[in-house]
Each structure stands twice: as C-alpha cells, then as structure tokens.
Amino acid sequence: MKPQQSIIMPHDLLISTLPYPVVVQQHPQSQVVYANEAAKALCKQLINTKREVLLSDIKIILHDICQTEGNGSTFETRQPIPGKNTHLWLEVTTTTVMQGKDQYNVFTIIDISARKSKELSMIQSLEKEKSLHEMKSNFISMASHEFKTPLTAISSTIDLLETKLQMDNLLNPFYQHNISKISSEIFKLNTMLDEILTLSTIVSNNIEIKKQAVDVEQVIADIKYQYFSERKDDRVLNVQVSGARRKIYADKNQLSKIFTNLVGNAFKYSTDNPVLKLQFLKNKLVIKVMDKGVGIPPQDIPYLFNSFYRGSNVDGIEGTGLGLSIVKDFVERNNGTILVESEENKGTSFTIVFKYPPEITAQA
Amino acid sequence: MNRTILLIEDKPTLSDTLKSLLELYQYTVIVAANGAEGVQQARLNHPDLVISDIYMPVLNGYDMLEQFKQDVTLCNIPVIMLTAKTEIEEIDMALQKGADGYVTKPFVFKNLHAIIKKFIQ
C-alpha cells in the first residue's frame, strides 16, 4: 500500500487561503488528501477542539459529507457540535476532478447557519401568523353563526308577542310600530353578520369557488322570490331580459350574493322600483342594476368598492360598507367586470359584464 | 283535530318560543332536543310535519333526515329544515337528503307558517 502523500493542487495557495472550506478526497480509496485552513478550522469547530486536526481526522469528522458522490451536486447538511447544544448548517458542493488517471472528489463547503436560522425563524413566524389568521377566521365564522341563534330567538319572540297581541285584539299602532322597528333591526344586524362573515372568508382566502354553468335568469328569479317579494312598501324588482338566453360559467352562490347586494342597495337608496336588466349579447352577458335614488357623490365613486367605505350622503341609512367590496371581489373571482355610473339625486346604475365560455353553446 | 308538529331544536329558548307560536295557531307541538330524540319521538307520535334544526348534538339534522328517509313509517312525513347558513351548498345538501323545505335563521314566522301550511292544510 502506498503511503499517503499530499498532492500538489493547482492554485494551491489560492485555495489554502479561501475563506470557505475545501476538502479533496481521492476516489475510490476515500482518503482525504487535501484540506485548506478553513476546512481544518471547521473540523475543529465541529469536534469542539483547539488541537490541530490531521487529514485522517477530517474523513471521520466530515464522514457524512465525504460519503457523498456526484459531480456538481449541492446539498445541505446539519452537523451537531458535541458538548454544545448547537449545530452548524453546511452547504456542500461536490465536484469531480481528474488528474491524470486519478480521480478526486472536491467538497466546497459554505457555512449557511445564519441563513438557515433566519429561514427557520421566518417559517416559524409564518406558521404562527397562519395559525392566528385561521383562529381569527374561525372565530369570526363561529361568532357569526352563534349570533344567529339568539337573533332567531329574539325575532321569534317578537313574532310571538305580535301574534298574541293580534289574537287578543291588543295590537294598536304603537305596539305595531315598535315591534316592526325591533324586527327590522334584527334583520339589519343579520345582514351585517353575513357581510362580516363573507368578508372574513375572502380576507383569509378560505373562500371556495365552485364554478358551473349557471342560468343567471333563474338565480335572479330565486333571489327576487327569497328576498325581494312581499315587501311592506309594495315595491317590486322589475326584471327585464333581452337576447338569446345563455348560461355563464360562475359560482352560483357568489352570483346570488352579488345580485342580492346590488338589488338590496337599489331598494335601500331609492323609493321607486329598481330595475334589473339582463342583456344576452353575442359574446357577453351584460347585467344592469338601476335605481332612481339618492345617487353617489362624485368624490365617493373612486372609493366605493373599498371595504368599510360608505358614501358621504348615506348617513342615517344602515350599512357596513362591506357589501360593494364583497360584490367586486365576487365579480372578479368569476372573471367579470363591474362599473358604476351615478348622479347625485338622479340615481345609480351598476353594470356587470360576464363573457360566455366558448364551450357553453346558445340555448334554444 | 289539531295537526301535530314535531319540533327538533337543541336551543331551549328558541324551541320554547316556536312551540308557543305554533300553539297559538292551534298546532299540537312535540319537542325534541336533537336528531336522535327526534327520530324516537317521530316513531312514537307520527307527527304531520317535522321542523328541524341542522346543527345539533348526538345526531345532526342531515343524519336525522337520512334515518327518516330510510324508515318506511317516517319517510312520507314532510320535513322543514332551519338553517343558520344562507350558503346554497348547505340548502342543496338539506334538499338532497330529503328535506321538503327550509327557512334560514333568523326568519319571520309568517314565512315559516306559509311553508307549514303548504304541507299540512
């Protein structure tokens, strides 16, 4: 067996003074034949010693690293330091070098402990933030649903009182007026809860979008029946449809919320019958929700779709300022566009456009 | 003869109020606090209609509906679900499981009564 001897590396001086460790191992004998000063210093740090380390020690100290083969591969390794409750993270690049008939594996090592520590701390912070975010979102969802039970109990109790008073012929205008006020406030509070819940799912990105071929005319008929029929003020939603009916590809639930909100606003901010126009054009469906109400002051229009923003002329009219922000989000999630045109004291018109998907053909 | 309604609701405040309201309209009301108790009461009393909450302990409204639909003595009793959510999926799920109608909480009794009358008058 030939005695181990140092080889003369090209640019030996340069490598020996490099600030990062370089180790050369002969292949296939696995003997470490060269280590620069930085590599020796690293080995001292890894075995927590001040004594000099020999080339034969390096193979043992860097056992994990020296076992690796592969030309040009880079990997990360975690090396514990004995006696200290700590470790180093090393990034190792292996290179195969031929010198005559001899093959050598060159390991270039970079201490990435500082970077790793930052990464770890960032991952922990992100996980903590994610968990807090989930907790907040779950809390809002739970609170919104839990509020509905007492709200239902209150509204049913009001119904019970009203019915009993009516049956006993005691329901005079005073009772009737105040019972209606309580009842109306309960439903306003319920709308606010729904909006807060919807916005919290949007903000936490927990919202699921389930697109399917949707008959928009049917969605509008459903919401008209569910929310806008038999109004106390006898107003009605005037729906006008033109063009050849086609389905669009969208989330039915979100469409329903978009129209409920816009039509609800049209009723809330006007005294006439709102109009909803469905125009089935050649390449797109144009939906207009129009009222002849208070309108929106021009200075408010740029901020209209921002969360919690409310028009400067709607003081005294209830609302959270969340509805239109939700509407815009849902329209965009369904690849639509929304525009608003308004004139103060003349009325407002919202225009939503959805393009037809190519696979949905015209219906007879 | 009074029509019998089985009311399945785990919140006593709400079930007490609804019971009183339904009684004012001359219905006989049996109350159960969860789905399992509801199935048991239905087998004993054969109500004309069931009004049930969805989220309840022991047996929820969806699983209760399944038991109703699998039981030949109960499968023809109309069931109206009370749901706290307005999500279409939740309502679709109740209808798929065999519910005959639904109202979302909070509701106006007049609307619930209109649905009741559709089934038992």
Nearest CA in chain B to A185: B106
Percent of chain A exceeding pLDDT 70 equals: 91
Looking at the fold, whether A75 and A191 belong to one and the same domain comes out as no
Would you state the pLDDT for residue A280? 94
Show the domain range for A258: 208-364
Q: Name the nearest CA neighbour of A338 among A230, A267, A268, A265.
A: A265
**Interface probe, candidates A149, A162, A164, chain B, greatest B C-beta count within 10 A:** A149
Question: Average of pLDDT values for A146-172?
Answer: 90
Distances (CA, A) of B111 to A43, A70, A112, A122, B117: 80, 75, 68, 54, 10
> Between A and B, how many CB-CB pairs are < 8 A?
59
Looking at the fold, whether A364 and A220 belong to one and the same domain comes out as yes
Looking at the fold, whether A147 and A197 belong to one and the same domain comes out as yes
Percent of chain A exceeding pLDDT 90 equals: 29
Task: Give yes or no for residue A206 having a pLDDT over 90.
Answer: no
CATH at B96:
3.40.50.2300
Would you state the pLDDT for residue A30? 79
ipTM: 0.87
Show the domain range for B11: 4-120
Which residue ranges of chain B lie beneath pLDDT 70?
A: 85-89
Chain B residues in contact with A151 (beta carbon < 8 A): 105-106
Q: Name the nearest CA neighbour of A352 among A285, A302, A292, A303.
A: A285
Nearest CA in chain A to B86: A194
Contact A341, A349 (CB under 8 A): yes
CATH at A183:
1.10.287.130
Chain B residues in contact with A148 (beta carbon < 8 A): 84, 105-106
B11 touches chain A (CB under 8 A): yes
Looking at the fold, whether A231 and A353 belong to one and the same domain comes out as yes
Would you state the pLDDT for residue A4? 54
Q: Per the CB < 8 Å rule, is B17 touching A157? A: yes
Q: Per the CB < 8 Å rule, is B107 touching A154? A: no
Looking at the fold, whether A355 and A312 belong to one and the same domain comes out as yes
**Alpha carbon of A147: minimum distance to chain B alpha carbons (Å):** 9
CA distance A232 to A247: 33
Q: Per the CB < 8 Å rule, is B18 touching A156? A: yes
Kindly report, residue by residue over A279-310, the tens digit of the pLDDT.
Answer: 999 889 999 999 998 888 888 888 888 877 77
Give me the residue from A150, A151, A156 closest to B21, CB to CB.
A156
Q: Which of A149, A180, A207 is the last residue of a domain?
A: A207
Q: Name the nearest CA neighbour of A341 among A291, A307, A306.
A: A291
Q: Which of A207, A238, A270 is the last residue of a domain?
A: A207
B26 touches chain A (CB under 8 A): no
- Pairing state of beta strands A347-355 and A284-291? antiparallel
Kindly report, residue by residue over A165-201, the tens digit of the pLDDT.
Answer: 999 999 899 998 998 888 888 888 888 888 887 777 7
Nearest CA in chain A to B105: A152
- Residues of chain A contacting B, Cβ within 8 Å: 145, 148-157, 159-160, 163-164, 167, 183, 186-187, 190, 194, 210, 252-253, 256
- Quickly state the pLDDT bin for A10 (edges 50, 70, 90): low
Alpha helices, DSSP H only, in chain A? 12-16, 37-47, 55-61, 63-66, 113-167, 173-203, 216-227, 252-268, 323-333
CA distance B57 to B36: 9
Q: Per the CB < 8 Å rule, is B109 touching A159? A: yes
- Pairing state of beta strands A284-291 and A248-251? unpaired
How many domains does chain A contain in total? 3
Q: Per the CB < 8 Å rule, is A149 touching B87? A: no
Q: In what order do the strands lie in the sheet with B4-8?
A: B28-32, B4-8, B49-53, B79-83, B101-104
Question: Average of pLDDT values for A44-70?
Answer: 82
Nearest 5°: the CA angle A304, A309, A313 is: 80
Would you state the pLDDT for residue A357? 80
Residue window 29-88, chain B: list those with CB within 8 Å of chain A.
82, 84-88
Would you state the pLDDT for residue A359? 64
How many domains does chain B contain in total? 1
- Quickly state the pLDDT bin for A363 (edges 50, 70, 90): very low
Looking at the fold, whether A216 and A358 belong to one and the same domain comes out as yes
Contact A211, A359 (CB under 8 A): no
Positive or negative, the CA dihedral B112, B114, B118, B120 is positive
Would you state the pLDDT for residue A148? 83
Q: Which residues contact A82 (CB under 8 A, 6 or more apart)?
A: A47, A48
Q: Which of A154, A186, A207 is the last residue of a domain?
A: A207
Residue A1 domain flag:
no
Would you state the pLDDT for residue A8? 56
Kindly report, residue by residue over A123-145, the tens digit of the pLDDT.
Answer: 999 999 888 877 776 777 677 67
**Alpha carbon of B12: minimum distance to chain A alpha carbons (Å):** 9
Nearest 5°: the CA angle A260, A261, A262 is: 100
* A210: three-class secondary structure by DSSP: coil
Looking at the fold, whether A64 and A26 belong to one and the same domain comes out as yes
Q: Name the nearest CA neighbour of A279 among A287, A291, A269.
A: A287
Looking at the fold, whether A79 and A158 belong to one and the same domain comes out as no
Would you state the pLDDT for residue A157? 94
Residue A238 domain flag:
yes
Would you state the pLDDT for residue A361? 47
Q: pLDDT: is A73 or B45 the higher one?
A: B45
CATH at A251:
3.30.565.10
Q: Per the CB < 8 Å rule, is A253 touching B85? A: no
Residue A4 domain flag:
no
Number of neighbours of residue A274 by Cβ within 10 angstroms: 26
What is the per-residue burial (b if ≥16 Cβ within 10 Å, else e) of A195-210?
Answer: bbbbbbbbebeebeee
Task: Give yes or no for residue A351 having a pLDDT over 80.
Answer: yes
Looking at the fold, whether A291 and A335 belong to one and the same domain comes out as yes
Residue A105 domain flag:
yes
